[in-house]
Structure 1
Amino acid sequence: MQAALPIALLVGISLLFASRRSSIRLSEVAWPIDLSDILRIGQSVMDSRNAHGDPHYGIDIFAKSGTRVRSASAGTVIRVSDGRQSNKESSKRAGLWIDIRGDDGLIYRYLHLGEAFPSVGKKVNVGDIIGVIATANTSGLANDPHLHFEIRKQDWTEVRGSYGDPIDPLSMLPVRKG
């Protein structure tokens, strides 16, 4: 009986911290597209993007071109990159994009924009309009207008040659009803 009490106490404390952590995340992260504007959700994290098995590191949120894109997290804009005219294939595929370092330390990425409003160094709050979705095939290689939205554990580094591990945005976003 004495051994059961400490185990029950540890389980209870673990559950308390787990529920606090998830409620903090949910209150800090919001959908980057107004729910009423979302037509559908496409590929999700780690789906194979093509016949070659290339992973998909975010989710595709389909909406009409010109739809406003909002900051999903409070943070600071660390990158605004326009790959639309780039000779580098990966930049061209991403189109115009914004990276925001969230106040939680995660990197929030918004790809396939038609316009980007904030500049590097700008502080943004949850819900601030940061851009609009591009017309199909004008910002990336997408046939349908959409926002590619990623959450990464770390920023890009030359040493690693990539961003940190992806986090499924659907695990952090509020549950969508309907």
Structure 2
Amino acid sequence: MIKPLHTLPFLAYLLVSIAACNTAGRGIFAKKTAREKYEDRIEKIESPAVMAWKKMGEKALLNPLSVPAPYAETGIFSGDSSDANAFLFSAGAGQKIVVSATRADAATFTSFLELWDASNPGSPKLLRAADTMLNSIEYAAAEGGKFIVRLQPKLASRGKYNLKIALSPILGFPIPNTIKSSIGSLWGDARDAGARKHEGIDIFAKKGSPVVAVTDGVVRRTGDGGIGGKVIWFNPAGENFSVYYAHLDTQYVSGGQRVSKGEVMGTVGNTGNAQFTPAHLHFGVYTASGAVNPLGFVQAVTPPALAPSIKNLDVWYKTSSKLKLYASPGKKGQPIAATGSRVKTVSVGKDFYKVLLQNGEKAYVSINDLTEKMKM
């Protein structure tokens, strides 16, 4: 049960905090999101339900549940203020975040989906927002980092939803998928008896295999000599990083040339200091700060899978001292002490339930650990 707010100082603090989180880093003239417009409308309704809705949205954002990405769950909006959800996750350098929330039943409701930068703990910055159950959010995390997804429906909304947080590479793979290839040496591997570290990845393929542009862009320059042998420096269109291809056998492009994604730029070889190794492509990514791990820029990620069954959602279960609750899905998460005598299932994933505790907090539990339903 949400307790009424009795003190003006707390109310003032709450409103300032909400405004700060919603507008952080966007400037006073930023276009308002659908959620912010909705908040403006319901602020005129002086009711405990409105204040509880805003309070729980803020609480969820500042205290998100930690989840691995990719992540998926099917959940239920039960029409009360506890329906605010927020998830903290990490994305690697070069990964694109794709977040979607869709209806899982015939109910008609609107929810607000947001992606926040969580690099500054306690002061999230809004990156993207969507206001329907049809739109998805996409964000290219070139430098990686920590992020928060917040999902909250309008007041008194009821219905089931599917939420997916997916990751995919920003760039295409530099060797066509019709060619047999494998990633061998990784970022950070020792070189020259430990004197230096590998600043890229090595992709092994038959000598002469085509090497392609990983996206649209411009060839900055080509070269022949040094440890890289025959190389190509490539600037992706609209990005603040460069791509480096090395140990090529041939180069089909020249500096200043525009190329399209998938266009052949050269072939795999073993030039430079790779002359005594099997043919491979050294692939690197460089930002203004120097080399970064390029693996996330090109490696595909398995999409998140929804739960095979959602029949036990919105159900109360008895708890015991043996019930193991966690702060994140899976048994490697931080343990949470069970409070009260029961928990309610509010979402389900491939092998877990997210449950609502009697104190209003949320936790995760193995899908096999809840067995005794309660009649309510």
User: TM-score, structure 2 length as denominator?
Assistant: 0.38
Alpha-carbon separation, structure 2, partners of 1:22 and 1:120: 27
Q: Which moved more, 1:53-62 or 1:11-20?
A: 11-20
Equivalent residue for 1:170, pick from 278, 285, 295: 295
**How big is the shift at 1:8?**
3.4
- Please list every run of 5 or more consecutive structure 2 residues that lacks an aligned counterpart in the other structure: 1-51, 63-85, 87-112, 117-126, 130-136, 143-166, 303-376
Query: Which of 1 and 2 has greater Rg?
Result: 2
**How big is the shift at 1:26?**
4.5
Question: What is the aligned partner in structure 2 of residue 14 from structure 1?
Answer: 115
After superposition, the C-alpha distances for 1:73-121 in whole angstroms (9 at most, x for unaligned) are 21111110111xxxxxxx2x11010001111121010001111111111
Q: 1:76–1:7: structure 2 CA closer, same or farther, 3 Å change rule? A: farther
Alpha-carbon separation, structure 2, partners of 1:7 and 1:130: 51
Higher helix share: 1
**How big is the shift at 1:56?**
0.8
Question: What is the aligned partner in structure 2 of residue 101 from structure 1?
Answer: 235
Alpha-carbon separation, structure 2, partners of 1:27 and 1:63: 21
Give runs of aligned pairs for residues 120-159 of structure 1, distance below 5 A. Answer: 120-134=255-269, 136=270, 139-142=271-274, 143-154=277-288
Equivalent residue for 1:41, pick from 183, 187, 208: 183
| Partner-residue secondary structure (3-state), 1:6 | helix
Contact 1:28–1:74 (CA<8 Å) still a contact in 2? no
Alpha-carbon separation, structure 1, partners of 2:183 and 2:297: 15
Alpha-carbon separation, structure 2, partners of 1:172 and 1:7: 34
After superposition, the C-alpha distances for 1:8-66 in whole angstroms (9 at most, x for unaligned) are 36755235749611499947510000234243211111222242241111110000110
- Counterpart of 2:273, as a letter, is L
The Cα RMSD (Å) is: 2.8
Question: What is the aligned partner in structure 2 of residue 57 from structure 1?
Answer: 199
Question: What is the aligned partner in structure 1 of residue 246 from structure 2?
Answer: 111
Contact 1:45–1:166 (CA<8 Å) still a contact in 2? no
Contact 1:59–1:150 (CA<8 Å) still a contact in 2? yes
Name the % identity. 29
- Counterpart of 1:60, as a letter, is D
Aligned residues: 157
Alpha-carbon separation, structure 2, partners of 1:150 and 1:7: 41
Higher strand share: 2
Question: What is the aligned partner in structure 1 of residue 214 from structure 2?
Answer: 72
**How big is the shift at 1:6?**
2.4
User: TM-score, structure 1 length as denominator?
Assistant: 0.75
Q: Which moved more, 1:113-122 or 1:21-30?
A: 21-30
| Partner-residue secondary structure (3-state), 1:8 | helix
- Counterpart of 2:282, as a letter, is H
- Please list every run of 5 or more consecutive structure 1 residues that lacks an aligned counterpart in the other structure: 84-90, 155-163
